[in-house]
Structure formats: structure tokens, C-alpha cells
Amino acid sequence: MGPMSRCILRSSVKYLASLPTLLQNRMSSSRAPLAAVCQVTSTPDKEANFSVCEQLVQEAKERGACMVFLPEGFDYIGSSREETLSLSETLGGDTISKYAQLARKLELWLSLGGFHERGHDWENDRRIYNSHVIINNEGDITSVYRKSHLFDVELPEKGVSLKESAFTIPGPALVSPVQTPIGKVGLGICYDLRFPELSLALQRHGAEILTYPSAFTVATGAAHWEVLLRARAIETQCFVFAAAQVGRHHEKRASYGHALAVDPWGEVVGDCGGEQPGVVLVEVDMDRVVRTRRNMPVQQHRRDEAFYCVKANPK
């Protein structure tokens, strides 16, 4: 296994290294399907980015994964607003076409976690969507979620200053969880992680897995990344997969890394670390979801929506 794939795994994950007998046993058994959660260091070089992602996807396939999760900005991370806009494409462009071909060739599903999609009125307003695209094993787009919460944050003391809304259109709505070979996947993107209403809505609509492909800043990642992902898993009793960007993209921007997989109890079962690209494989055992929800039936204990509307105390 090369340096690109050295990820940290906790003891509860069945990690497939280069052991042919284990791989054969898994492929011939009826054990839980494997998901692959990736982290990369995207730059403005789209061809180089695709080459790295393609290598990780191929590695994941060789190790038995049936679905691979790539992070926000898997296509590129621009060094300026102008570059970001000029490199954008439509869903019918070359980038998504190449990933569709890859999915079809390798016969696996892809979560493309944050694609710079040209808006529907591109010629007039030159704005884009941040789009999470799901491609099935036949190379077809099965779902597109456009990021609804945009990262407009100024933290001078942390060196964080980003205004996503300057060039990005907020998505109009959530989308229904997608039935995949590993379970029903609810789609979010990065900053959406901070809004529990989104995760709870997806869970109510049947999500068994939540996914937050991200490019968290180093400062906010160190402070909040793991605790937020674990909280979303605990409150929804879902698996949570969060592919991530890591390292320096260009002179103006770096990302925290630590692509994580969290189980429905809130335990971190896979961590790609904070230094370099890689991939972690995780068994997606739906019995864990069922057992966790049965033993602690939080959703059954939730009161009706009207109860949570705060009212003035009666005199």
C-alpha cells in the first residue's frame, strides 16, 4: 500500500490491506458492503486532480468498495473568484463525463461531493452552484443536491475569511435520500454540517447514512470538525461519512483534512489523518443502525413539531 493511502483506522473497522485471501473471503461472503471515504488536495489543476481521484477510486475498488465518497471541490479549488468561475462547467461537461465513465468502467457508485456547476442563468449572472452529484454503477446521475447553506464567515482572529455567496447560488431545497448499495444516503455539503435541522429532516425521510463532503478550514476543522460529525451521527443514529480536502491548495488556502467515518453510536471508525491524500474503507452494517435505533428509540420519543415552538409562560 503506497503512501497516498495511509489512513488511521480505529479497531472496530475491518480494514482490507493487500491480503488476497481476506479479499477473496469478503467477496465470496455475504458480509456488509464496503464504503470508501477519500481525502485529496485539490488545486486549480483539474487534470491533476482527476488523476489523483481516479487513483483513489481504483484503489477503493480493488479493496472491495462498492461506493466511493469524494470531497467538496474534488474537481478543483481555485485561487481567486475569477479562476473559480472560469474553471466551472455544467453537469454535461467533461469532468462529470469522465467520472461517469469511471463509475461505469469500475462498476461502482460515486459521491462527488462538491462540483462547481454553472448556474442556469450563467450567461447573464456568472454564478455557480456547489453541487453534490451521485453517479450509479452504470454511469448515470441519480441525484444532485445543491448546497443550501453558504459559508460567509469572517474570523479575523483565526485568519478565516470566505464569502461563498459572492459567486455561489444557494440550493433551492433538500433532496430525498438516495438508495445505494450501502443504504439510503442523505446528501449535505460542508457548512451544512452546522445545521442539525438538515440532518434530522433527512433522517425523517429515511436516511441511514449522512454524508458531508467538505473543505473545512484548518482553524474551524481543529475546533469543530469531529465533534460536529459525531453529533450528527448521534442525534440521527445514522452512519456519517465525510470526505475531506487536506493540506495546501494554493498560497491563499489550506484545508484541515481528517476525512472521517462515524458509526450510528457516534464512534469514529475511520480517519484519514491531517497530512496527505488517502482513502479509508468502512463496513456499512445496517444492523448497527437498526440496533442503535431500537435500543435507544430517540425518534419515537420526539414530541410533535408544535411542542418545540417556544411560547411565553402563562401568567
Q: Does 190 participate in catalysis according to the annotation? A: yes
So what's the architecture of 3-308 in CATH?
4-Layer Sandwich (3.60)
Residues facing residue 187 across a β-bridge:
211
pLDDT band at 15 (very low <50, low <70, confident <90, very high): very low
Q: Are strands 65-70 and 109-118 parallel, antiparallel or unpaired?
A: parallel
pLDDT band at 73 (very low <50, low <70, confident <90, very high): very high
Q: Does 107 participate in catalysis according to the annotation? A: no
Question: When comparing pLDDT for 157 and 275, which is higher?
Answer: 275
Above 90 in pLDDT, residue 3?
no
* 3-class secondary-structure state, position 166: helix
What pLDDT is attached to residue 160?
67
- Write out the three cell numbers for 2: 503506497
Residues facing residue 133 across a β-bridge:
112, 144
* 3-class secondary-structure state, position 12: coil
Give buried/exposed letters for 22-60 (b at 16+ CB in 10 A, else e).
Answer: eeeebeeeeebbbbbbbbbbbbbebeebbebbebbbebb
Selected catalytic residue, list 7, 38, 53, 190: 190
Spatial strand order of the sheet with 183-187 comes to: 178-180, 183-187, 209-211, 239-242, 260-262, 268-271
Selected catalytic residue, list 59, 72, 117, 283: 72
Selected catalytic residue, list 53, 59, 147, 283: 147
What pLDDT is attached to residue 161?
67
pLDDT band at 156 (very low <50, low <70, confident <90, very high): confident
Q: Does 72 participate in catalysis according to the annotation? A: yes
What pLDDT is attached to residue 312?
75
Above 90 in pLDDT, residue 192?
yes
The mean pLDDT value of the chain amounts to 90
Amino acid at 258: H
Strands (E), the chain: 34-40, 65-70, 109-118, 128-135, 141-146, 152-155, 160-163, 178-180, 183-187, 209-211, 239-242, 244-250, 253-256, 260-262, 268-271, 278-283
| Residues 138, 104 contacting (CB under 8 angstroms) | yes
